[in-house]
Structure 1
Amino acid sequence: MVSLEETVKNIKPLIDDLDRMVWLAKRNSLEPDDGLTTNESAAIHLYTMQWSNPEKSLYIQLNRTLRNE
């Protein structure tokens, strides 16, 4: 299985503060109760997290990009 850090490496230049948010997501997902791995749980957490500037949030930027494709 690929780590979350490895998974997001290609979008790091596009998303502000991604390293810190990945770290926070993993820190908040150390022992998931739902049977997911830390990386799986952190990926969901990362996608749903809201950055201090909501327009910079991962889900906002990914969804905007997908709509523009």
Structure 2
Amino acid sequence: MVTYGNREYQDALLELHDIAAEQGFIPVAGGAFVAEHSYSLPSRPIAHGRPDANDIAAAKDFGAQIKK
């Protein structure tokens, strides 16, 4: 899983997959979830308050689907 600041996660999932596979892991799923951006400021909020309750619920559902 990767988080991103409500902008663009680009190749993060692919890169994580490749690094994990090189280390002998077998990736079975990947997900990208919004989190408050590291550049977020009170005067310029970027994904402020994220992840929120809906995001957490979606992540839990995603995990449950993978587990099946």
Q: Establish whether TM, by shorter chain, passes 0.5.
A: no
Query: Which is strand-richer, 1 or 2?
Result: 2
Query: Which is helix-richer, 1 or 2?
Result: 1
Task: Give TM-score scaled by structure 2 length.
Answer: 0.31
